[in-house]
Amino acid sequence: MKFTTQAADIVMQDLIDCLLAEDFFGREPLSILSAGQWRQAHPQAPVLDGEHIWEWCCDAQERRFISIALRPGITQQWEKVPGTAVLARQEEHWVRLSPVEFMKHVFTGMGPRFADNEKGLTLFLEVLHISIWQTALSQEHQVDDTHLMARDGATFFRIMEQWASLRDRPYHPLAKAKQGLLQSEYLQYQAEFAEPVALNWVAVRKDMLQGGEGVTDLETIYPARYLLPADLQKSLAAELASRGIDETHIALPVHPWQFEHVLQGQLGAEFDRGVCQRLDFQEASVFATSSLRSMTPCFDSADYLKLPMAIYSLGASRYLPAVKMINGGLSEKLLHQVRTLDPVLAQTLHLCDESKWWAFMPPQATLFDEAPRHLSAMVRSYPQALLDDPDCRLLPMAALGTPLPGSQRHFFDEWMSYRQLPVEASSVLTLFGELCERFFDVNLRMFRLGMLGEVHGQNAVLVWKAGQAQGLLLRDHDSLRIFVPWLERNGMADPQYRIKKGHANTLYHNCPEDLLFWLQTLAVQVNVRAIIDTLSSVYSVPVTALWTTLRTVLETLIRQIDFDDAARAMLQRQLFDAPRWPQKLLLTPMIERAGGPGSMPFGKGEVVNPFQRVAHGG
């Protein structure tokens, strides 16, 4: 019960903040009362701490109202006061609402807006419920964070992936929900629980496979070579030989959940024909990373694994289509090019090799067909030198923005200890400044050349070396965003991404401001904001001091990096002078889509400029 209550509080905070940031209740000013006015109007009401109370009529006919304590925010106009209840009243009968009950009231109050989308509303409530109980399971678990710096590089990295998984995508109330997982499966497959996952394997006919650019020869470049130690490779090869298919088929790893729940429904006919064959081999155990379907190696290796897993997360099915990996390969080429164009990036931008992949692709299929995308595998190779360097540690940045339940631990503890810095606000601000300097130096240098990576906290990995933020390691190259005119003026070319006709894309952008959207949203509003809030909570550092440090770092970098005058003026205007910033809309698009295929649904909205909020005192 304790953890369910905590989980409901966490989800409720993100839920209300997200709805307010998205202007879900309309663009008109909220009906805000002072605490004194509200208490005078409702002397019998339960205690509701806060200087500002928002009272919203959710059902005029039934005279139902909701009261929420708000405070001015930095990244949005208003945010819920943490730790406070959400109250509903009819006359003077008061009830404390759960997140699901709150959204039922909201949907009643917004009835005309969603009149024709009962499916979307039902799905939203279902996912909200899942998010709470799965958050509760994660909050109850204790990640083993003891002796962090004494661990080898790969073990440290795995622990930090578990840490990052505890929160998933910050500020998204539905982020923890993994639709399709039973409780036992969630406890088995979610990264933070550190349970070994025994992979299944499927043999696929060679002439039905498409491969990445790193797969130059199926005879010598196949998944088992990278994912299994020599003895297990022999065991798997022996089963293929015993079935008489060692010359005609190649074994692909499959997540056990996908093996059990998805393959028959999507590819049953192919199994009936023998094109695909389920194998008995199940001797390789891996661990999930914060991405759930990306897995650690089962032995000492820099080769990790990414698989399709058709659960729904953040409103999207997590399959792994060939077209995404083709686009990722095109992006990877650009990323290698950009390292040659800037000597600083050559040292500080690190890349995973994602060129080795295999995808089921029968002759009659297209890149955009549903069934083939459920049987594929990628070997993601991390730079071996980074994992082997005893002075180096890899940290998914999400781990820096994720509080440990019931703990005041943070990686900055280790960092301050290594640097022999006193555990105080000035030290936290120093290290945060260094972290931001490295992170945004890489991103702004890439931006100058016409591209930005997928730099939310899960995909952006900090390279920490001997007490310094040495660089940034990027993975998931299929989401590289580009502005072609700036690529071309720097000697690069349009990669010609494969995009389904008639479908919106988030890879190409029509102007630099549109490309900058991803820096403002994923890099600042999600990734670094989560680090700011976590550092403030753990070390009692004012959030305003951290935001001020971030602004100073950005202003300095924009002066120092070789932007032309027009680009520098645009950055000044968009980041500091504009009263409004763009933001990713999350909840409204999810409700409107009501499930279905595709990547994470989102739209574009506006919020306040955080730097102006800090400068003007909120």
Partners of 80 in the β-ladder: 70
What are 34's two structure tokens? 């002072």
- Residue 66 reports pLDDT greater than 90: yes
DSSP E strands in 374-474: the ranges are 376-381, 392-396, 451-452, 460-465, 468-474
Determine which helix (DSSP H) or strand (DSSP E) holds 448, and give its type and residue range: helix 425-448
pLDDT of residue 430: 98
> CA 543, CA 173: separation in Å to the nearest integer?
22
What are 113's two structure tokens? 């807006």
Residue reference for tokens 């969603």? 114
Task: Give residue-wise pLDDT tens across range 590-605.
Answer: 888 766 555 667 789 9
Residue reference for tokens 């297209």? 366
Task: Give residue-wise pLDDT tens across range 284-296.
Answer: 999 999 999 999 9
CATH architecture of 2-116: 2-Layer Sandwich (3.30)
Query: If you ran DSSP here, which 8-state letter would residue 373 be given?
Result: G
Cα distance between the two ends of the chain: 36
What percent of the chain is modeled with pLDDT above 90?
A: 87
What are 16's two structure tokens? 């209300």
Pairing of strands 468-474, 349-351: parallel
Q: Which sign, positive or negative, has the C-alpha torsion 224, 228, 234, 240?
A: negative
CB within 8 Å of 556: residues ≥ 6 apart:
437
CATH architecture of 384-615: Orthogonal Bundle (1.10)
- DSSP, collapsed to helix, strand or coil, labels residue 69 as strand
> CA 392, CA 465: separation in Å to the nearest integer?
4
Q: For residues 588 and 257, which has the higher predicted lDDT (pLDDT)?
A: 257
pLDDT of residue 560: 98
- Angle at CA of residue 73, ends 412 and 459, nearest 5°: 45
Number of CB atoms found within 10 A of residue 256's CB: 16
> CA 74, CA 17: separation in Å to the nearest integer?
12
Number of CB atoms found within 10 A of residue 518's CB: 25
The domains of the chain are located at 2-116, 147-158+181-381, 384-615
Same topology between domain 2-116 and domain 384-615:
no
pLDDT of residue 596: 59
pLDDT of residue 547: 98
CB within 8 Å of 81: residues ≥ 6 apart:
49, 50, 69, 70, 71
- Residue 570 reports pLDDT greater than 70: yes
Burial of 571 (0-12, 13-18, 19+ CB in 10 A): buried
What are 613's two structure tokens? 């909020």
The one-letter amino acid at 177: A
Q: How far is CA 280 from CA 134, 230, 237, 259, 260, in A?
A: 31, 18, 12, 12, 13
Work out the pLDDT band at 618, boundaries 50, 70, 90: low
Query: Do the beta carbons of residue 23 and residue 605 sit within 8 Å?
Result: yes
pLDDT of residue 368: 83
> CA 120, CA 128: separation in Å to the nearest integer?
12
pLDDT of residue 140: 93
Task: Give residue-wise pLDDT tens across range 217-244.
Answer: 999 999 999 999 999 999 999 999 999 9
pTM exceeds 0.75: yes
Residue reference for tokens 């509200």? 38
Number of CB atoms found within 10 A of residue 204's CB: 27
The one-letter amino acid at 218: L
Work out the pLDDT band at 379, boundaries 50, 70, 90: very high
Q: Where are the alpha helices (DSSP H) in 86-207?
A: 99-109, 118-140, 153-165, 183-189
Dihedral, 74, 78, 79, 81 alpha carbons, nearest 10: 110
Q: Could you tell me how far CA 431 lies from the centroid of its own chain?
A: 23
Work out the pLDDT band at 366, boundaries 50, 70, 90: confident
> CA 306, CA 4: separation in Å to the nearest integer?
31
Task: Give residue-wise pLDDT tens across range 9-37.
Answer: 999 999 999 999 999 998 888 999 999 99
Query: If you ran DSSP here, which 8-state letter would residue 179 be given?
Result: B
The one-letter amino acid at 105: H
Query: If you ran DSSP here, which 8-state letter would residue 421 be given?
Result: -
pLDDT of residue 130: 95
Query: If you ran DSSP here, which 8-state letter would residue 271 be given?
Result: H
Number of CB atoms found within 10 A of residue 565's CB: 7
Question: Once rounded to an integer, what is the mean pLDDT over residues 416-442?
Answer: 98
Question: Once rounded to an integer, what is the mean pLDDT over residues 509-535?
Answer: 98
Q: Where are the alpha helices (DSSP H) in 48-145?
A: 99-109, 118-140
Task: Give the mean pLDDT of the chain.
Answer: 94
> CA 471, CA 291: separation in Å to the nearest integer?
21
H helix and E strand count, the chain = 23, 26
- DSSP, collapsed to helix, strand or coil, labels residue 182 as coil
For 325-361, the DSSP string reads HHHHHHHHHHHHHHHHH-HHHHHHEEE-EEEEEEEE-
Q: Which sign, positive or negative, has the C-alpha torsion 100, 293, 286, 179?
A: positive
CB within 8 Å of 524: residues ≥ 6 apart:
550, 610
